[in-house]
Amino acid sequence: MEAKKACTALRDLKQGSRSVHEYSNEFKMHVAKIQGWPEPVFVQQYRLGLSHQIQEAVLRNVNPVSLVAWISGTLSSLFGLQIDSSDVYYYEYSSEYTTLKPTNTRRGVFARDPDWFLEYFSYNVNPCQAKPCQNNGICERNRNSYTCHCVKPYTGSKCEHVKNTCQRSSCNRGDCLISLIPPYYRCSCRHPYQLPFCDRAQSVCKPNPCKNGGTCVKHRVRSKFTCNCPEPFRGKYCKIGPEDCFTTNGHTYRGNVSQTVLKKTCLHWTSHLLLESSYNAFMEHADYYGLGDHNFCRNPDGDEKPWCFVNVDNKVKWDFCDVSPCSATGRLDNNVEHINSTNFIMHPRMGNRLSTCGQPETIRSLKRIYGGTKTIPGKHPWQASLQRKFSVGSSMPKGHYCGGVLIEPCWVLTAAHCIVRTNIHNLQVTLGEQDLTRREQYEQKFDVEKIIKHGHYRERDEIPYNDIALLKLKAVDGNCAVETKYVKPVCLPDSVFPDDTECYISGWGLTETGEESHQLLDARVKLISQTQCNAPSAYKNRLDESMLCAGNLQRTRADTCQGDSGGPLTCVKNGSYYIYGIVSWGDQCGLKNKPGVYTRVTRFLNWIRTKIQQESISHN
């Protein structure tokens, strides 16, 4: 109640309805009551004449929490109230608040309006600053929420989906394709049917549909035909030549094969039938995966060879394509965008910091972190893998066991519970890791010089509190992490992200099958308010102010799991990624009303910076 009164006093001053003198007197009284100090202390402090300083702070738009912290610090220094070291954390951002005890939540103002405290202390957070609207949607702020106004043909709360513009259109003997230009759809006709609506047929062999000298042979059924192809061409239309092949698993295949091994014609990636699929021409970064307004085979999910979707009895199915590996044809894949060796050149460090933070050089991807999908190298260049060099009994096997995140060349942030029983001599950190089963030429490995666990880390009822730790990497040839396309630090946050912000999780943890993934996986999750996380149907007030949760309360979707501990929860602002949470704990994986719980990094910024600075000074 005192916090609310203090905020009301500040609001009144900003609106000009209160004098600075009245505000100073009332605000400091409420601050004193918040801190639990007796009235005489406030009276003495008022006589110190701090009204002028408070006035200046207001005019500089200092937020109320910072002002409370400043006044508290002043009182502490004046009256001998001891402030602990950097291990004693404090609020650094205005939207963080202490969860009230269960005995207090059933009565009073908080019970009637549980969001008032967050509302007062986050009045200056503009949710549109995070640019939540996709595909050129316009963000309109509505207090602490927002509305996205989408351009055609996009739809969804964030303009992330494409509307099915084919619902009122008929393409008869063809397929209706979604278009991004008016009228936002078009028909693709099966031969020999003709545009615009695929309802009229021409002669099947005139003109000749067979390419590369193939001969068209009519069937008894008027619309059926066969192409007799000369060597070395094959396929329904004699389009497939020996140079049209793929290397490795065909992830970079960009050839023109459009039929399956069962001779079915592939659906266009813009087909309205694929709008609900994870893979279509409108997915994020579809160009990278070679998906567009065509029906050529591709391999966007890293399967064993190129594939495509087909329409079988009005049901969408998929099948591998009739395309051969280049090793079988004796040709190189001319359609492959070969990896240039310069991708692996390491760039020199700039001073004692990497040149950029939070800037992945490869695009965001496309089984799984729980509910997630495989990533591509360089998507999360700050992701670290904590690994044991050798096994310690059956319960602590060799290899990857926790995640981490690179924040500076020599510093990795992780969860404290990941290192409580770890021998520093048995610990190594790998950066740039993608596949745990093989040595990759762009990964960097380091021993650990020092482990710094938060001084107030503890576990109670199997819940870790202040679950954060720093690992200082041991330099190799005078350098720690060297910036490459695949190794970069993430940014430390400089502001809060509003609830419902979509963020990213990544790791090698358990999947829906109960097995760990050897491929780095990722998924999107939304930040959930502290009130919702602590609701009786969720975590029942088990989260304190050092924690946050993210995911989806209503249905099981993406979540972090065992093996993802210590890994990053990153949020994006102005194109840069910020470490906002560290994977900490949760009730099992992917359960309704049990989202993942993360260490709130903004709560520990002072601790992080102080520890790194202290270590730097001690080595100079």
Give the active site residues.
Answer: 417, 467, 565
Distance between CA 70 and CA 74 in Å, rounded? Answer: 6
Looking only at the bridges linking them, the beta strands covering 225-228 and 215-218 are antiparallel
Q: Are 137 and 153 in contact (CB under 8 A)?
A: no
Distance CA 29, CA 31 (A): 5
Instruction: Please tell me the distance from the alpha carbon of residue 566 to that of residue 417, in angstroms, as a whole number.
Output: 8
User: Is 451:589 a contact under the CB 8 Å cutoff?
Assistant: no
Beta strand pairing call for 245-246 and 324-325: parallel
Q: How far apart are CA 7 and CA 25, in angstroms?
A: 13
**Do residues 219 and 205 make contact, with C-beta atoms less than 8 angstroms apart?**
no
Q: Which amino acid is at 585?
A: W
8 A C-beta contact, residue 448 and residue 428: yes
Residue 346, φ and ψ in degrees, nearest 5: -85, 130
Phi, psi (degrees; rounded to nearest 5) at 138: -100, 125
CA distance 162 to 154: 4
Q: What 3-state DSSP class applies to 197?
A: coil
CA 62 to chain CA centroid, nearest Å: 31
SS3 content of the chain, % helix, strand, coil (to 5): 20, 25, 55
| Alpha-carbon distance values, 381 to 211, 298, 367, 470, 491 (Å) | 46, 26, 20, 18, 12
* Cα–Cα distance list, 222 to 174, 200, 228, 399, 619 (Å): 16, 12, 18, 63, 85
The DSSP result for 16-69, as a single string, is TSS-HHHHHHHHHHHHHHHHT--HHHHHHHHTT-THHHHHHHHHTT--HHHHHH
Pairwise CA distance, residues 178 & 269, whole Å: 9
Cα angle: 573, vertex 578, 583; to 5 degrees: 130
Task: Mark residue 393 as left, alpha or beta (left: phi above 0; alpha: psi -120 to 50; beta: remaining).
Answer: left
